[in-house]
Amino acid sequence: MFGKEIKSITDLHCHILPGIDDGAENLESAIALLKEQKAQGVDRIVFTPHFWSFQKTVKQFSKDRYNAAEQLAPYLDEFGIEWGAGAEVRMTPELLKMDLRHLNIVGTSYFLLEWPFTQFPLYGREVVEQIQDLDYTPIFAHIERYDYFWSNPRELDDYIDEGIVCQINPGILLNSDTRKYALKMIRDGYVHVLSSDAHSMEKRPPHLKVAYQIVEKGLGRRYSDKLKSNAECIFYGHEIE
């Protein structure tokens, strides 16, 4: 009825690169995460270490990311995983004074942005515009973590009209207390991408397979396939509908 089911999974947000942030501590942990991703059907991964403006320069960040990716590259080849590099950029007022080029997902115009968790920042709109002025499309990371958006989704309407992409983590679907509302948010068009945000096998293991199964069971395959194809489009730098 809806064509062939999309089997392969693309992960656009994770902390698997070894030793660069609070994700995989070392190469061994990173390989364990890759194995688990592969077992779940993940064929494409964008590595998005945290970028905190107060911690290091963009140049230093890019260098550290390159070195970490170089360590992991042979294993990615072995597992047959296509990969890309990006950053999860924490929104801070300092961003307004910075050149934000080179923090996008390499080879695409997408830019993964993490908002503050507690309060809507007054400078938030300005940061988004700064990113858009570079012709980048912001992806709002794990929107379920910001109550000012998650409980008031109409606050996202203008952003979504501008083409901004909203991502959620599997946890909000796996938790039976929050599942129903998360499915409603997907159905209502407030969620465009599902990503693992995996940190380690202990702290936050990847759970994409089961999360997609929950979407399929709750809303139908049309929705789970759409989320999968959106992530794949972004990976290859294409626009999503």
Binding site for Fe ion (CB under 5 A): 88, 197
Tokens coding 147: 């109550």
Q: Which residue's Cβ has the minimum distance to Fe ion? A: 197
Taking the complex as a whole, the smallest distance from the CB of residue 241 to Fe ion amounts, in Å, to 25
Q: Is 168 exposed, middle or buried (0-12, 13-18, 19+ CB in 10 A)?
A: buried
Tokens coding 110: 């997408």
Taking the complex as a whole, the smallest distance from the CB of residue 110 to Fe ion amounts, in Å, to 15
- Pick the closer one to Fe ion by CB: 225 or 235: 235
CB 130 within 8 A of CB 89: no
Taking the complex as a whole, the smallest distance from the CB of residue 112 to Fe ion amounts, in Å, to 8
- Pick the closer one to Fe ion by CB: 6 or 173: 173
Taking the complex as a whole, the smallest distance from the CB of residue 170 to Fe ion amounts, in Å, to 12
- Pick the closer one to Fe ion by CB: 144 or 197: 197
User: Got the DSSP string for 168-206?
Assistant: E-THHHHSTTTHHHHHHHHHTT---EE---B--TTTS--
- Pick the closer one to Fe ion by CB: 171 or 218: 171
Round to whole Å and give the CA distance between 143 and 140.
6
